[in-house]
Structure 1
Amino acid sequence: MSTFAGRRITVAGLGVSGVSAARALARLGAHVTVVDGGDGERQRTLAAGLAGEGVAAVLGDGRTLPARTELVVTSPGWRPDSPLFAAAGAAGVEVIGDVELAWRLRGAGGPPWLAVTGTNGKTTTVRMLAAILTAAGLRTAAVGNIGTPLVDVVLDERPYDVLAVELSSYQLHWAPSLRAHSAAVLNLAPDHLDWHGSMESYAADKGRIYEGNRVACVYNAADPATETLVRKADVTEGCRAVGFTLGPPALSQLGVVDGVLVDRAFVPDRRTHAQELAEIGDIDPPAPHNVANALAAAALARAYGVPPAAVRDGLRAFRPDAHRIQHVADVAGVAFVDDSKATNTHAAEASLAAYPSVVWIAGGLAKGATFDDLVRRAAPRLRGAVLIGADRALVAEALARHAPDVPVVALDRTDTGAMAAAVAEAARLARAGDTVLMAPACASMDMFTNYNERGDAFAAAVRELPGHGRAENEQ
């Protein structure tokens, strides 16, 4: 930690991780300047608070490198082609991210990291993993791209036994020396390509999570791209590739047999034996993609030596965050499910696959996505579709091409009240036994502040449906 004392360090961004990094570095004796392109009330308030801790701030200019800067610590969202980083490169100044800073601050004696990345499912898997580790009696936390900033955690006066770490592709891009105990890539699908520049660059940044792994590189047997990343990684000698699958596990895999999660990777004689870990009924909700998340979490926990009973107890204790395939209510025999977190096609496809007969509420900001593959695969289970948001026409066109017999209602409005109309239309299309699923496959910012607000609007609209109160009382 003393290596930062006296150094002139620039922190890019006044977000949560930037403020955390600036404070930590100032306490360690660095001369810290925070730069941020914004100059609004929020930035000024944060800058004033940091000033009291000896941190300087430059607002309204995120392009100019402060004089005599020796190191730049960036927040995850800053693009690699930002002028600030170009200036740093020209001056021979290293640029690292908040995760890299936390790793360096952790030191040789810090807690090991069990790390998770992927296009979808990261937060759920990390929280499942933390629940399992807690059930094993370990002091742990779900950190990184979730919850408390990593820098704060590694400097905590009370030491942790092990950390469950969620890492985004942005964070991994700026973390060259990270070496996890074990790590998992859950899946890989096009996302954030505007930031990374190409699918190849995006995948390469995800694959950084495997570099230097000591015990296990966990991959998705149903997603060959994740196994390819394992094969490319330079790991510590003896580190193993461990797959997870929704079917019976092969050698060195975790999988499912007759509704039971089983381990053929971390058992004494994995050629002839398997260890029962938990039942699918222990997972909430037991949708296929969530079972996959549970298997990945179990694999990382088992790599750390957690006993089978703790896997079961941790999964039983886990409760998903709001807006992730969250059952809102049953009304007139129809289930209403909020998966507002499904902000891309990959997530929406996983959600749709969990239900046999669906009235789908979709649409929003497409972020350059196309919907043909999603609709083609989901078509057999679609009872109807209700479309909202700025890019609803793109979804409608895919439905017309690949599911022409599915009734579609496209609402020509983007006000927040459109959600109530969408829920009413979906309820009209649904029949007893169907699921009305809001899995938009799009971002929310055309109509809502974020996906949480969108999910809250959906739940509020469901509660206003005729018969909702009666159905609640009968349950």
Structure 2
Amino acid sequence: MGVTGTNGKSTTTKFIQLSLLSKIQRTIACGNIGLPIGDVIKKTNDNDIFVVEASSFQLDKVDTLKFNISILLNISKDHIDWHGSFKNYKDSKIKIFSNQDKNCFSIICIDDNSCKKIALNFNKRFSSKLIKISTKQKIKDGIYLEYQKEGILIVNKLSNEKIFFDYNMIMFTKVKHNFENFLAAYAVNFLLKKNEKQFKNSLKKLFSLEHRLELVGNLKNIFFYNDSKATNIESSRNALNSFKNIYWILGGRKKLGGLDGIDSSLKNVEYAFSFGQAGKEFKEYLIKKGIKSVCFNKLESVLLAAVKKALKEKGNINIIFSPACSSFDQYKNFEQRGNKFKTLVNGIIKSAG
């Protein structure tokens, strides 16, 4: 099976792999998540299940690869500098469905307009069976979530089933945008005929991935979150929509459009601390939007400034490192950038006490 989307690919790939692990059948996560699919195939047998994280770059070159189950999570503007246009980027994403036949399944989350349009016209272009999922709306012929006081309810209109999950069972999700990844994992389990008990038992194995709103630690009234994987504006919007009392650390090498589209997600941001190549531009942008902001060149400097100011606050503060930029101005990749943030945070906590 293949998993693509602008955000959430790695988490969904891992959720699916862990939810399907068993003693009688191997489930292997590969592709963009780290293990090259070509290397993995050489060491496997016909009974193995492959969960392939597929990026737009990889899908752009797809000619014959066929997935039994394909998953499209979401589409927002990203990597336009490489693809040349948003249309080209979208076209590369939907190539995940191109070689499927009538015996295959395609899962599309219709929570954003681009994916909704793809689902609407799906049967005109592709041969596989479409399964629509949503975390935001009810679907008469699909699978959706309902949010309740004590937990979430998955409503499966394809099987006329309802499955309730207490929030204590799904602590690994932490933030709302992970429900999209969770719902996609459920849909795969449903298609593979795993029952409710099997799926619920598998939840004990699930966890959030590193650098994705990862709680690093806390110091007095401050909680530190590492979201270095947020290399685009949509990822950072998800982070900002998930917390209150936010000190936002952002910056790096900006993507096309910069912070355009962030306005509706700024209501919980108390202060912004920008750094790197885009630091000054981001500071000026956010000040115009009414957000108090400062700018430094290095991550070390913005983090120290944020901590110093947060310690003076009476209530709890969430310091969210969600850059909304690529890392390539100062770091090799988002992992190196995230590890640097965690090292700095752990050093601050250790020196304080």
In structure 2, the CA distance between the partners of 1:383 and 1:468, relative to structure 1 (3 Å rule), is farther
Alignment: residue pair count: 343
Aligned to 1:444: 327
**Offset from partner CA, 1:60-109 (integer Å, 9 cap, x none):** xxxxxxxxxxxxxxxxxxxxxxxxxxxxxxxxxxxxxxxxxxxxxxxxxx
In structure 2, the CA distance between the partners of 1:409 and 1:226, relative to structure 1 (3 Å rule), is same
Aligned to 1:422: 302
Shift of 1:257: 3.9
In structure 2, the CA distance between the partners of 1:186 and 1:308, relative to structure 1 (3 Å rule), is same
Aligned to 2:292: 407
Shift of 1:254: 2.8
Aligned to 2:105: 216
TM-score, normalization by structure 1: 0.67
**Offset from partner CA, 1:402-458 (integer Å, 9 cap, x none):** 2x2x321111x2xxxx32221121123333322000000011121222212211221
Q: Which amino acid aligns with 2:308?
A: R
Match of 1:435 among 300, 306, 318: 318
Whether the 8 Å contact between 2:29 and 2:52 is mirrored in structure 1 is yes
**Offset from partner CA, 1:32-78 (integer Å, 9 cap, x none):** xxxxxxxxxxxxxxxxxxxxxxxxxxxxxxxxxxxxxxxxxxxxxxx
In structure 2, the CA distance between the partners of 1:138 and 1:302, relative to structure 1 (3 Å rule), is farther
Aligned to 1:241: 131
Aligned to 1:255: 145
Aligned to 2:216: 328
TM-score, normalization by structure 2: 0.89
Query: What does residue range 67-146 of structure 1 map to in structure 2 within 5 Å?
Result: 114-134=1-21, 138-146=25-33
Q: Which amino acid aligns with 2:318?
A: T
**Offset from partner CA, 1:3-27 (integer Å, 9 cap, x none):** xxxxxxxxxxxxxxxxxxxxxxxxx
Q: Where does the alignment leave 5 or more consecutive residues of structure 1 unmatched?
A: 1-113, 471-475
Query: What does residue range 39-438 of structure 1 map to in structure 2 within 5 Å?
Result: 114-134=1-21, 138-211=25-98, 212=100, 214-230=103-119, 231-232=121-122, 234-236=125-127, 239-246=129-136, 250-258=140-148, 259-267=151-159, 270=160, 274-276=161-163, 278-281=165-168, 282-374=170-262, 376-402=263-289, 404=290, 406-411=291-296, 413=297, 418-430=298-310, 431=313, 432-438=315-321
Shift of 1:138: 3.3
Query: What does residue range 447-466 of structure 1 map to in structure 2 within 5 Å?
Result: 447-465=330-348
Paired with 1:181 and 1:361, the residues of 2 have a C-alpha distance of 41
In structure 2, the CA distance between the partners of 1:302 and 1:328, relative to structure 1 (3 Å rule), is same
Aligned to 1:69: none
% identity of equivalent residues? 25
In structure 2, the CA distance between the partners of 1:297 and 1:420, relative to structure 1 (3 Å rule), is same
Whether the 8 Å contact between 2:240 and 2:266 is mirrored in structure 1 is no
Highest Rg: 1 or 2? 1
Shift of 1:373: 1.3
Paired with 1:199 and 1:223, the residues of 2 have a C-alpha distance of 15
In structure 2, the CA distance between the partners of 1:335 and 1:151, relative to structure 1 (3 Å rule), is same
Whether the 8 Å contact between 1:331 and 1:468 is mirrored in structure 2 is no
RMSD: 2.2
Paired with 2:218 and 2:285, the residues of 1 have a C-alpha distance of 29
Query: What does residue range 4-15 of structure 1 map to in structure 2 within 5 Å?
Result: none
Greater relative contact order structure (CA < 8 Å, 6+ sep): 2
Q: Which amino acid aligns with 2:154?
A: V
Matched residue SS, 2:106: strand
Matched residue SS, 2:316: coil
Shift of 1:357: 1.8
Paired with 1:317 and 1:257, the residues of 2 have a C-alpha distance of 23
Shift of 1:249: 5.5
Matched residue SS, 2:177: helix
Whether the 8 Å contact between 1:216 and 1:242 is mirrored in structure 2 is no
In structure 2, the CA distance between the partners of 1:381 and 1:394, relative to structure 1 (3 Å rule), is same
Aligned to 1:41: none
Whether the 8 Å contact between 1:249 and 1:264 is mirrored in structure 2 is no
Q: Which amino acid aligns with 1:426?
A: A
